């Protein structure tokens, strides 16, 4: 790979910051080196985005934006094989998941192109005879920051609506997983995005990330990542009232009611907890099972967990790949020790003896609500299992953490499941389903899982300011003052 990996003001430039080795988590080998941005280069990217927003017609030319978004979608679709292979090599996610991520990214681009095309200002005839228009305008320069677990897809949930609405962008992927975004940026330039509209900077939170949030030329920060990073960013943005969206962590419950079909429920529990190695913000890492089926479900779960095909993520048949890094694997292993020390019973969770960062999926039983393994996000293939006596207790346990990102309910009784859904404080609730992000519907967190929503019309609104223009067509005398 060439050294020019930053994209600033329509030109590929070499990063003058740290040189970082990008590792393939499947074998620990170096994939390539990345020349990261300095703080100064990040500021140049912000300046370029500022100029493109203030001085070009990008933000006014909706037709051009729709055309460009559809063109990016087409190019992404026709390069899907290459980009999904890169995503898998860089993240360790099974190839079939990377392929899904690319398809979902294409769908996201098309959705926002169509949504913005069909939008028109709201017109209101007021009782006093004046006419009002409510107009959505782009916010301006947007800093978009994403984590390593879904580099391209989570990027697209921000890039597509931000561009559709007419903003300009400085984008930063995680320092661990920049590769798919570099390739994507090449496609974006081929699609005719004007210079300065999309800028790619690479690096960690300390240099690139903090310059993207503190610069006074940035109007909005949209961030996906951990709660503590989100808290810092929120504090920084508050100082100048920058617009901010935060998609943060979770500790999502899956509630299995007594009427559930056990075999099918077990499949969904495995999928909810271990999809993408459990490195998913909405992973159902807390399983709540009605006491009448608790033992049966656990027995089945422990049996079936062993048949998950863990292996090289490039193989089509692989169901679970490696953890993103040695450091993250150690963090997960440390949580397993914490859980055992807290008195929970652990099944699985051994590091697998092969190159790369592989671990068996893990289940904790004999778990209490106050335990760290129940309260903190582990972000790996680890689930805790608790039982409940009635719906009331299930809801109390489900709501009993600082998070509120998602929840699942498994039941044959839709009315009962709907009632439970209405009482769980979470941004997404799946009934007899899990994990699927629908581009048409909002995604985001209650409580400390975040602020704001992505996807659907809410995801576009997150990148707009609303302006109210009220008018009379002629100027009448006011007759308010007794003027001579």
Q: Given the rule CB under 6 A, which of 23-31, 42-50, 248-256, 343-351 is the region that contacts ligand NAD?
A: 248-256
Q: Given the rule CB under 6 A, which of 32-40, 94-102, 227-235, 261-269 is the region that contacts ligand NAD?
A: 227-235
Q: Which of 205, 253, 273, 348 binds ligand NAD (CB under 6 A)?
A: 205
Residues 6+ apart with CB under 8 A from 308: 270, 274, 319, 320, 361
Using CB under 6 A as the binding rule, whether residue 233 contacts ligand NAD is answered as yes
Using CB under 6 A as the binding rule, whether residue 273 contacts ligand NAD is answered as no
The least distance separating ligand NAD from the CB of residue 352, rounded to whole angstroms, comes to 22
Q: Which of 62, 232, 416, 447 binds ligand NAD (CB under 6 A)?
A: 232
The token pair at 202 is: 């690479």
Evaluate whether 137 touches 464 at the Cβ level (below 8 Å). yes
Q: Given the rule CB under 6 A, which of 108-116, 139-147, 287-295, 407-415 is the region that contacts ligand NAD?
A: 139-147
- What is d(CA 123, CA 209) in angstroms, rounded to the nearest whole number? 40
Using CB under 6 A as the binding rule, whether residue 6 contacts ligand NAD is answered as no
Using CB under 6 A as the binding rule, whether residue 224 contacts ligand NAD is answered as yes
Q: Fill in the DSSP letter of residue 109.
A: H
Report the residue number, 195 or 217, with the smaller CB distance to ligand NAD. 217
DSSP string, 443-469: B--EETTEES-BSHHHHHHTTEEEEEE
Report the residue number, 59 or 224, with the smaller CB distance to ligand NAD. 224
Using CB under 6 A as the binding rule, whether residue 284 contacts ligand NAD is answered as no
Alpha helices for 309-436 (secondary structure H) = 326-341, 372-375, 391-398, 414-423
Using CB under 6 A as the binding rule, whether residue 149 contacts ligand NAD is answered as yes
Q: What are phi and psi of 99, to 5 degrees?
A: -60, -40
The least distance separating ligand NAD from the CB of residue 450, rounded to whole angstroms, comes to 6
- What is d(CA 113, CA 11) in angstroms, rounded to the nearest whole number? 25
Q: Given the rule CB under 6 A, which of 34-42, 89-97, 209-217, 315-323 is the region that contacts ligand NAD?
A: 209-217
Using CB under 6 A as the binding rule, whether residue 391 contacts ligand NAD is answered as no
Using CB under 6 A as the binding rule, whether residue 361 contacts ligand NAD is answered as no
The least distance separating ligand NAD from the CB of residue 337, rounded to whole angstroms, comes to 20
Q: What are phi and psi of 45, to 5 degrees?
A: -65, -40
Q: Which residues are catalytic?
A: 247, 281
Put residue 194 in one of left, alpha, beta given phi > 0 → left and psi -120 to 50 → alpha. Answer: beta
Report the residue number, 177 or 411, with the smaller CB distance to ligand NAD. 177
Using CB under 6 A as the binding rule, whether residue 450 contacts ligand NAD is answered as yes
Q: Provide the sign of the torsion angle of the four alpha carbons 42, 187, 452, 93, taken in this order.
A: negative
Site string for ligand NAD, 152-181 (x = CB under 6 A): --x-----------------x-xx------
For residue 14, give the 3-state DSSP assignment: strand
Count of CB atoms situated within 10 Å of the CB of 322: 28
The token pair at 40 is: 């100064």
Evaluate whether 444 touches 457 at the Cβ level (below 8 Å). no
Using CB under 6 A as the binding rule, whether residue 249 contacts ligand NAD is answered as yes
Sheet holding 131-138, edge to edge: 122-125, 131-138, 464-471
The token pair at 332 is: 């997960």
Report the residue number, 131 or 206, with the smaller CB distance to ligand NAD. 206
Report the residue number, 166 or 250, with the smaller CB distance to ligand NAD. 250
Helix (H) or strand (E) run with residue 403 in it: strand 403-404
Q: Which of 88, 229, 234, 464 binds ligand NAD (CB under 6 A)?
A: 229
The least distance separating ligand NAD from the CB of residue 328, rounded to whole angstroms, comes to 8
Evaluate whether 37 touches 208 at the Cβ level (below 8 Å). yes
The least distance separating ligand NAD from the CB of residue 154, rounded to whole angstroms, comes to 6
Q: Which of 7, 58, 148, 364 binds ligand NAD (CB under 6 A)?
A: 148
Residues that bind ligand NAD (CB under 6 A): 145-149, 154, 172, 174-175, 204-205, 209-210, 213, 224-226, 229, 232-233, 247-250, 281, 377, 379, 405, 445, 450
């Amino acid at each position: 790979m060439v050294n020019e990996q930053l994209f600033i003001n329509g030109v590929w430039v070499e990063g003058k910051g740290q040189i970082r080795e990008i590792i393939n988590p499947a074998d620990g080998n170096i994939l390539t080196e990345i020349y990261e941005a300095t703080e100064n280069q990040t500021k140049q990217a912000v300046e370029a985005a500022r100029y493109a927003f203030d001085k070009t017609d990008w933000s006014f030319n909706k037709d051009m934006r729709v055309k460009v978004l559809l063109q990016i979608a087409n190019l992404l679709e026709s390069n899907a094989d290459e980009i999904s292979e890169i995503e898998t090599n860089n993240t360790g996610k099974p190839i079939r998941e990377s392929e899904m991520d690319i398809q979902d990214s294409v769908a996201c681009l098309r959705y926002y192109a169509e949504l913005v095309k069909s939008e028109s200002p709201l017109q209101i005839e007021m009782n006093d005879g004046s006419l009002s228009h409510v107009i959505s305008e782009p916010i301006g320069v947007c800093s978009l920051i994403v984590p390593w677990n879904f580099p391209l897809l989570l990027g697209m949930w921000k890039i597509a609506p931000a561009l559709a609405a007419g903003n300009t962008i400085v984008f930063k992927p995680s320092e661990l997983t920049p590769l798919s975004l570099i390739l994507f940026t090449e496609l974006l330039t081929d699609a005719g995005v004007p210079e300065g509209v999309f800028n790619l900077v690479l690096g960690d939170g300390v240099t690139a990330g903090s310059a993207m949030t503190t610069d006074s030329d940035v109007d909005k920060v949209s961030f996906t990542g951990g709660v503590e990073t989100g808290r810092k960013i929120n504090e920084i943005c508050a100082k100048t009232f920058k617009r901010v969206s935060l998609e943060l962590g979770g500790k999502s419950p899956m509630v299995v009611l007594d009427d559930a079909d056990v075999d099918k429920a077990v499949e969904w529990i495995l999928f909810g907890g271990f999809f993408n190695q459990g490195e998913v913000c909405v992973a159902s890492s807390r399983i709540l099972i009605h006491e009448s089926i608790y033992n049966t479900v656990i027995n089945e779960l422990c049996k079936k967990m062993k048949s998950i095909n863990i292996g090289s993520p490039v193989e089509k048949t692989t169901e679970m790949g490696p953890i993103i890094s040695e450091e993250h694997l150690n963090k997960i292993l440390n949580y397993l020790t914490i859980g055992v020390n807290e008195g929970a019973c652990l099944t699985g969770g051994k590091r697998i003896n092969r190159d790369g960062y592989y671990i068996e999926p893990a289940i904790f039983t004999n778990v209490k609500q106050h335990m760290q393994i129940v309260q903190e996000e582990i972000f790996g293939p680890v689930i805790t299992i608790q039982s409940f006596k009635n719906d009331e207790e299930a809801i109390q346990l489900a709501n009993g953490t600082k998070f509120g990102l998602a929840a699942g309910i498994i039941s044959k009784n839709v009315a009962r499941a709907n009632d439970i859904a209405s009482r769980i404080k979470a941004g997404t609730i799946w009934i007899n389903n899990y994990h699927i992000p629908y581009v048409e519907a909002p995604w985001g967190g209650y409580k400390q899982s975040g602020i704001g929503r992505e996807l659907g019309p809410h995801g576009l609104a997150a990148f707009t300011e609303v302006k109210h223009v009220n008018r009379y067509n002629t100027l009448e005398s006011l007759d308010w003052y007794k003027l001579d």
